[in-house]
């Protein structure tokens, strides 16, 4: 993915340079130096290689040192109760947010929360505009291959959402065959319906999938159980919807840049805060203690 | 309905915050793109021919008549107008960190705003430049000649004679672009700039205790409508004001 | 000494020779009419004198000073050309008034911009502005436009526009005032008022170079008439010589067409 983007961008830069009606001099033709930032001057056709080189060097010089050097851990999130959401004062809170603050403190840096477009999370990480994705992220194969992930810290399941009045008809996997599903593109839910060979429409967010069911444009949706608990049923925006069976069980983790040493540091932090009970007490604050995974 | 009335204050507050971002991006883009567009317009009209002196050597016309500044600007305008603004936003924001390993914009809101401003200013300046070029070229050559024989310098002719006539001619097409810009600002959400559409969409997904509500998103249209209404009136007045001459 | 001397002027556009070895001179206070069919090079000649075109060869002298020697390999920079231009004024066929300025402002604009280059401009700003306004008003009055000073060009008739344009050219006090078919864009009714104004200027000894199709006018006003054909000066002399005692067959042909019409 990253390579592809790099190659594409390099192509565009080359086109731009060529169209510049004359070369501006290939200063970096001699050797591709591994120093960062200098790549700005580099011959664009080498950018893909440069990028790989830069990636290696970033790993060598340690992501933790980089984060500590700038004094902030930039945490990429979305508005996702109860993991990351804003209180009345506009302060980010939630199980993930509080843990991230504690982890940042343990590193001696400040946590800075940045709302991102979920589709661009890997781009944001690789582009160094954020340092980690900490937002109830399911550890799928795609995520594991694209990021350096922490140990799982929370259990989750993909659950089927249907209108409450027909819920009793869909209590097992066989009964789902005739339904049309709405699932978030690239989500763990999409993997599940694909594996079961069900009919589905990909939408841009889990919330959109809920909208589809509420509006009747899809029969059912598959979303995270934690989210379902917060958004569906009595006292929520979707009182007429409910969730039935879980399709699988899965786990949440935190994602860092590929090769980052912060993942290991977080595992240590998880272990110690689980041991002294702080992790559990934070989980209780947000009602997710039952899903917590032993560290 | 009752639920909507209850949610209204929260939603409005949130949309207002988003709309301020939208307005900021709109005005910053205008402030940057209007002058930059003029510079680009002059670039694309440049008659600078550095190889002209080689004409005596009998080199072919296409070489001695070559106009590098005009050529480069026109190609840049072609690229910028020929590719989606959404892609330009992604490239400008992610390219430095991703490929050059130097995330100049940073991850915070101000960095995203800055990157979005750069992309928008550059994109719109290219569109504006073509409108300017058309406007300048539609002013009769006799106006410049009259200025020249009256001993005016080229810059005096431009600022005292051509400029206002050009402005008069470009107000209608400019109005079009400016109103398009109001709505185009929503593209900046691709790099997570939290403008009004983002703010409206948040309630669909769930934010501040409200989730699954699509009406806030539809409600944003009202903001756009009112604002472009105001702009239409203002630009109409400008057009009227310039009606004192023909 | 003649006020204007033109020697061996040549000009080629692409492959068309437009001016071929043009030489003539003009005395202070004289009026010269240039006649000839369309495409004979009359307009190009005026444009060369006003530095709107650069001739390929030839010399232009004003008051004995060489303004332009086309053979000189290093052309003058814009700023020098700008100064030299001020020896000439040019009135265009299509007026070319600035539409966003009133008649008065049209006459004042160039003069005011030039005044900014005076060393004492900052100190005497108001005074200078006032002087220029008085001069401009006087010129417009002379053109019979005292009631039209604050009108915009689109509110004026063609004849009035052309008179404003003449005032605008006069405001810079050029040594030689050139007219490029000043009445060709006008209705016959409006032609008279413009010609009357030019006649008055001639009576005041204004040095003028007039390209025109008004044969009667040329004959009346000019001290000297030049007939151009296909880029050459075919014949020149006093109006009596050219109109009454035509030497060249081509000139006769041209004039007879006018006499019939």
Candidates B99, B203, B209, B216: best to mutate against A (most CBs of A within 10 A) is: B99
Mean pLDDT for all residues in chain C: 92
Residues of C in contact with B146 (CB under 8 A): 92, 96-98
Q: What is the pLDDT of residue B61?
A: 75
Residue C179 belongs to what H/E stretch? strand C176-180
Contact check, Cβ <8 Å, C83/B154? no
pLDDT mean over C4-24? 92
pLDDT mean over B201-227? 85
Pairing of strands C176-180, C208-211: parallel
Cβ atoms of residues B108 and B83 within 8 Å: no
pLDDT mean over B22-40? 97
Residues of B in contact with C51 (CB under 8 A): 148
* Cα(A96)–Cα(A102) distance, integer angstroms: 10
Neighbouring residues of A249: CB distance < 8 A, sequence distance ≥ 6: A155, A156, A157
Q: Which of B46, B28, B17, B226 is nearest to B124 (CA)?
A: B28
Residues of B in contact with C82 (CB under 8 A): 148, 151-153
> How does DSSP classify residue B212?
S
**Tokens 């979920």 map to which residue?**
A118
**Number of domains observed in the structure of chain C:** 1
Cis before A82? omega within 30: yes
Q: Do chains A and C touch (3 or more CB pairs under 8 A)?
A: no
Q: Which of A121, A148, A131, A147 is nearest to A71 (CA)?
A: A131
Q: Which of B49, B75, B47, B94 is nearest to A17 (CA)?
A: B75
Which ranges in chain B belong to alpha helices (H)?
A: 2-45, 61-64, 68-82, 85-98, 109-138, 141-149, 154-156, 163-184, 196-205, 215-241
pLDDT mean over C145-168? 96
Confidence of residue B34 (pLDDT cuts 50, 70, 90): very high
Contact check, Cβ <8 Å, C168/B150? yes
Confidence of residue A239 (pLDDT cuts 50, 70, 90): confident
- C106-C112-C115 Cα angle (round to 5): 155
Q: What is the pLDDT of residue B220?
A: 95
The CATH architecture one would assign to domain B2-140+175-244 is Orthogonal Bundle (1.10)
Alpha-carbon radius of gyration of chain A? 22
Residue B155 in this model has a pLDDT that exceeds 50: yes
Q: What is the pLDDT of residue A5?
A: 54
Cβ atoms of residues A143 and A150 within 8 Å: no
Contact check, Cβ <8 Å, A74/B206? no
Domain boundaries, chain B: 2-140+175-244
The pLDDT > 70 percentage for chain B reads: 98
Nearest beta carbon to residue A115 from set B95, B97, B194? B194
Find, in chain C, the residue whose alpha carbon is nearest to that of B154.
C78
pLDDT mean over C93-116? 95
Residue A7 in this model has a pLDDT that exceeds 80: no
Q: Return the exposure string of A236-261: e unless at least 16 CB atoms fall within 10 Å of the residue's CB, then b.
A: bbbeebbbbebbeebbbbbbbbbebb
pLDDT mean over A191-218? 87
Domain boundaries, chain A: 63-155+251-291, 157-250
User: B22: exposed, middle or buried (C-beta count within 10 Å: 0-12, 13-18, 19+)?
Assistant: buried
Tens of pLDDT along C20-77? 999 999 999 999 999 998 889 999 999 999 999 999 999 999 999 999 998 887 778 8
Alpha-carbon radius of gyration of chain B? 23
Q: What is the pLDDT of residue A9?
A: 52
Q: What is the pLDDT of residue C18?
A: 92
Residue A220 in this model has a pLDDT that exceeds 90: yes
Contact check, Cβ <8 Å, B151/C110? yes
* Cα(A78)–Cα(A119) distance, integer angstroms: 11
Find, in chain B, the residue whose alpha carbon is nearest to that of A210.
B212
Q: Partners for A (CB, 8 Å, 3+ pairs)? A: B
A 10 A CB-CB count for A70 gives 13
pLDDT mean over B215-221? 92
Cβ atoms of residues C139 and C146 within 8 Å: no
Pairing of strands A72-77, A110-115: parallel
Q: How far apart are the first and last CA of chain B?
A: 54
**Tokens 């301020």 map to which residue?**
B20
Q: What is the pLDDT of residue B165?
A: 96
DSSP lists the bridge partners of residue C252 as: none
The answer to whether C179 contacts chain B (CB < 8 Å) is no
Find, in chain C, the residue whose alpha carbon is nearest to that of B164.
C100
Q: Which of C93, C106, C95 is nearest to C38 (CA)?
A: C93
- Count CA within 13 A, CB hemisphere, residue C258: 18
Q: Cα torsion for C209, C213, C217, C219, to the nearest 10°?
A: 80
Q: Do chains B and C touch (3 or more CB pairs under 8 A)?
A: yes
Cβ atoms of residues A161 and A170 within 8 Å: no
* Cα(A185)–Cα(A191) distance, integer angstroms: 9
**When comparing pLDDT for C133 and A240, which is higher?**
C133
Q: What is the pLDDT of residue A6?
A: 55
pLDDT mean over A132-140? 92
Q: How far is C111 from chain B (nearest CA, A)?
A: 8
> How does DSSP classify residue A138?
E
* Cα(C58)–Cα(A207) distance, integer angstroms: 82
Cβ atoms of residues A196 and A174 within 8 Å: no
Residues of B in contact with C114 (CB under 8 A): 151
The answer to whether B147 contacts chain C (CB < 8 Å) is yes
Candidates A121, A207, A210: best to mutate against B (most CBs of B within 10 A) is: A207
**Tokens 């990429």 map to which residue?**
A76
- C213-C219-C223 Cα angle (round to 5): 115
**When comparing pLDDT for A224 and B159, which is higher?**
B159
Contact check, Cβ <8 Å, B68/A130? no
Find, in chain A, the residue whose alpha carbon is nearest to that of B4.
A237
Residue A56 belongs to what H/E stretch? helix A47-61
- Sequential DSSP letters for B123-164: HHHHHHHHHHHHHHHHS-HHHHHHHHHTT--HHHIIIIIIHH
Find, in chain B, the residue whose alpha carbon is nearest to that of A240.
B212
Nearest beta carbon to residue C52 from set B148, B161, B244? B148
Longest CA pairwise span in chain A (Å): 71
**When comparing pLDDT for A105 and A47, which is higher?**
A105
Neighbouring residues of B237: CB distance < 8 A, sequence distance ≥ 6: none
Residue A41 in this model has a pLDDT that exceeds 70: no
User: B147: exposed, middle or buried (C-beta count within 10 Å: 0-12, 13-18, 19+)?
Assistant: buried
* Cα(C127)–Cα(C139) distance, integer angstroms: 19
Write out the two tokens for A4: 């592809």
DSSP lists the bridge partners of residue A72 as: A110
Window from B96-110, C155-169, C182-196 with minimum mean pLDDT: B96-110
Residue A51 in this model has a pLDDT that exceeds 60: no
- B85-B86-B90 Cα angle (round to 5): 115
Q: How far is B49 from chain C (nearest CA, A)?
A: 16
Confidence of residue A89 (pLDDT cuts 50, 70, 90): confident
The answer to whether A59 contacts chain B (CB < 8 Å) is no
Cβ atoms of residues C88 and B149 within 8 Å: yes
Window from A64-68, B22-26, B60-64, B137-141 with minimum mean pLDDT: B60-64
The answer to whether C232 contacts chain B (CB < 8 Å) is no
Alpha-carbon distances of C183 from C193, C228, C260, rounded to whole Å: 10, 19, 20
Write out the two tokens for A77: 């999130």
Put residue B208 in one of left, alpha, beta given phi > 0 → left and psi -120 to 50 → alpha: left
- B-C C-beta contacts closer than 8 Å: 67
Residue C261 in this model has a pLDDT that exceeds 80: no
**When comparing pLDDT for B137 and B103, which is higher?**
B137
Confidence of residue B179 (pLDDT cuts 50, 70, 90): very high
Candidates C110, C151, C184: best to mutate against B (most CBs of B within 10 A) is: C110
Residue A12 in this model has a pLDDT that exceeds 70: no
Mean pLDDT for all residues in chain B: 91
Give the 3-state secondary structure percentages of chain C, helix then strand then coil, rounded to 5. Answer: 40, 25, 35
Q: Going along A44-131, which residue ranges are E strands? A: 72-77, 85-86, 92-93, 110-115
Strand order of the β-sheet with C65-69 is C16-26, C4-13, C57-62, C65-69
A63-155+251-291 adopts what CATH topology? Answer: D-Maltodextrin-Binding Protein; domain 2 (3.40.190)
Q: Partners for C (CB, 8 Å, 3+ pairs)? A: B
* Cα(A68)–Cα(A99) distance, integer angstroms: 18
Residues of A in contact with B68 (CB under 8 A): 21-22
Write out the two tokens for C151: 């009108």
Q: How far is B177 from chain A (nearest CA, A)?
A: 26
Contact check, Cβ <8 Å, B107/A10? no
* Cα(A182)–Cα(A189) distance, integer angstroms: 9
pLDDT mean over C3-32? 92
pLDDT mean over A254-264? 95
Nearest beta carbon to residue B102 from set A6, A15, A36? A36
Mean pLDDT for all residues in chain A: 81
Q: What is the pLDDT of residue A236?
A: 73
The answer to whether C117 contacts chain B (CB < 8 Å) is no
Tallying the residues shown for chain C, one arrives at 261
Q: How far apart are the first and last CA of chain A?
A: 32
- B11-B12-B13 Cα angle (round to 5): 90
* Cα(B90)–Cα(A117) distance, integer angstroms: 12
Strand order of the β-sheet with C176-180 is C88-91, C176-180, C208-211, C31-35, C224-229, C232-237
Q: Which of C208, C207, C183 is nearest to C195 (CA)?
A: C183
Nearest beta carbon to residue B246 from set C82, C99, C172? C99
Indicate the SS3 state at residue A267: helix
Contact check, Cβ <8 Å, A80/B208? no
Contact check, Cβ <8 Å, B146/C88? no
**Tokens 């004026």 map to which residue?**
C156
Greatest mean pLDDT among A7-11, A46-50, B90-94 lies in: B90-94
User: A164: exposed, middle or buried (C-beta count within 10 Å: 0-12, 13-18, 19+)?
Assistant: middle
Q: How far is B182 from chain A (nearest CA, A)?
A: 21
Residue A122 in this model has a pLDDT that exceeds 80: yes
Candidates A1, A11, A15, A127: best to mutate against B (most CBs of B within 10 A) is: A127
The answer to whether A81 contacts chain B (CB < 8 Å) is yes
- Residue A242: what are its φ and ψ, rounded to 5°? -150, 170
Neighbouring residues of C251: CB distance < 8 A, sequence distance ≥ 6: C227, C229, C234, C235, C242
Q: What is the pLDDT of residue A87?
A: 87
Contact check, Cβ <8 Å, A127/B192? no
Nearest beta carbon to residue C154 from set B154, B156, B246? B246
Confidence of residue B58 (pLDDT cuts 50, 70, 90): confident
Q: Which A residues in the span 18-47 are in contact with B, Cβ-Cβ below 8 Å?
A: 19-22, 36-37, 39-40, 47
CATH superfamily of A157-250: Periplasmic binding protein-like II (3.40.190.10)
Contact check, Cβ <8 Å, B101/A39? yes
* Cα(A130)–Cα(A76) distance, integer angstroms: 6
């Amino acid at each position: 993915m990253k390579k592809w983007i790099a190659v594409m961008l390099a192509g565009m830069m080359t086109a731009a340079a060529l169209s510049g009606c004359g070369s501006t001099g290939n200063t970096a033709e001699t050797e591709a130096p591994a120093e960062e930032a200098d790549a700005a001057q580099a011959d664009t056709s080498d950018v893909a290689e440069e990028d790989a080189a830069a990636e290696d060097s970033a790993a060598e010089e340690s992501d933790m040192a980089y984060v500590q050097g700038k004094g902030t851990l930039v945490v990429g999130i979305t508005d996702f109760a109860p993991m990351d959401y804003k209180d009345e004062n506009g302060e980010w809170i939630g199980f993930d947010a509080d843990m991230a603050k504690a982890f940042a403190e343990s590193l001696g840096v400040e946590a800075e929360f940045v709302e991102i477009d979920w589709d661009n999370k890997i781009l944001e990480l690789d582009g160094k505009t954020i340092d980690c994705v900490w937002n109830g992220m399911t550890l799928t194969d795609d995520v594991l291959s694209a990021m350096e992930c922490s140990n799982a810290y929370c259990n989750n399941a993909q659950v089927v959402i249907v209108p409450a009045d027909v819920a009793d008809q869909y209590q097992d996997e066989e009964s789902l065959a005739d339904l049309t599903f709405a699932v978030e593109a690239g989500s763990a839910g999409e993997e599940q319906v694909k594996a079961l060979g069900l009919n589905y429409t990909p939408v841009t967010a889990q919330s959109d999938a809920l909208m589809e069911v509420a509006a009747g444009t899809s029969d059912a949706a598959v979303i995270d159980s934690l989210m379902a608990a917060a958004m569906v049923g009595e006292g929520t925006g979707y009182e007429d919807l409910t969730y039935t069976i879980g399709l699988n069980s899965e786990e949440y983790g935190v994602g860092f840049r590929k090769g980052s040493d912060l993942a290991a540091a977080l595992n240590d932090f998880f272990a110690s805060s689980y041991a002294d009970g702080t992790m559990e007490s934070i989980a209780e604050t947000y009602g997710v203690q039952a899903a917590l995974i032993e560290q | 309905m009752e639920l909507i009335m209850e949610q209204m204050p929260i939603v409005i507050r949130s949309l207002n915050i988003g709309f301020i971002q939208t307005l900021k991006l709109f005005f910053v883009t205008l402030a940057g793109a209007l002058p930059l567009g003029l510079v680009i317009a002059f670039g694309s009209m440049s008659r600078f021919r550095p190889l002209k002196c080689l004409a005596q050597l009998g080199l072919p016309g296409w070489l001695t008549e070559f106009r590098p500044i005009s050529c480069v600007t026109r190609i840049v305008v072609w690229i910028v107008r020929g590719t989606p603004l959404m892609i330009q936003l992604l490239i400008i924001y992610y390219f430095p960190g991703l490929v050059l390993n130097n995330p100049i914009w940073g991850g915070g809101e101000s960095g995203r705003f800055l990157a979005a401003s750069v992309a928008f200013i550059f994109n719109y300046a290219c569109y504006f430049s073509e409108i300017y070029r058309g406007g300048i070229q539609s002013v009769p050559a006799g106006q410049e000649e009259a200025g020249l024989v009256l001993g005016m310098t080229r810059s005096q002719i431009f600022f005292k004679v051509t400029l206002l006539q050009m402005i008069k001619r470009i107000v209608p097409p400019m109005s079009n672009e400016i109103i398009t810009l109001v709505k185009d600002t929503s593209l900046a959400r691709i790099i997570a700039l939290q403008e009004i559409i983002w703010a409206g969409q948040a309630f669909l997904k769930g934010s501040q205790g409200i989730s699954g509500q699509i009406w806030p998103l539809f409600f944003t249209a009202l903001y756009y409508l009112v604002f472009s209404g105001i702009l239409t009136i203002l630009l109409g007045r400008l057009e009227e004001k310039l009606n004192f001459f023909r | 000494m003649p006020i204007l001397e033109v020697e061996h002027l040549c000009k080629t556009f692409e492959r068309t020779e437009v001016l071929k070895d043009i030489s003539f001179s003009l005395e202070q206070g004289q009026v010269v009419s240039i006649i000839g069919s369309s495409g004979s090079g009359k307009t190009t000649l005026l444009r060369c004198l006003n530095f709107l075109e650069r001739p390929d060869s030839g010399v232009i002298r004003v008051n004995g000073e060489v303004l332009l020697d086309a053979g000189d390999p290093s052309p003058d920079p814009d700023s020098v050309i700008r100064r030299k231009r001020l020896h000439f004024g040019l009135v265009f066929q299509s007026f070319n008034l600035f539409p966003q300025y009133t008649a008065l402002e049209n006459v004042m604009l160039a003069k005011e911009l030039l005044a900014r280059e005076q060393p004492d401009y900052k100190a005497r700003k108001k005074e200078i502005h006032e002087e220029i306004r008085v001069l401009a008003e006087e010129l417009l009055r002379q053109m019979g436009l005292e009631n039209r000073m604050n009108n915009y060009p689109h509110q004026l008739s063609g004849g009035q526009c052309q008179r404003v344009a003449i005032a605008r050219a006069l405001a810079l006090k050029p040594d030689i005032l050139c007219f490029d078919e000043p009445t060709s864009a006008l209705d016959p009714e409006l032609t008279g008022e413009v010609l009357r104004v030019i006649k008055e200027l001639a009576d005041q000894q204004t040095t003028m170079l007039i390209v025109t199709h008004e044969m009667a006018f040329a004959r009346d006003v000019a001290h000297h008439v030049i007939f151009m054909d296909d880029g050459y000066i075919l014949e020149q002399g006093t109006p009596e010589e050219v109109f009454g005692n035509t030497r060249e067959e081509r000139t006769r042909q041209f004039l007879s067409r006018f006499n019939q019409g």
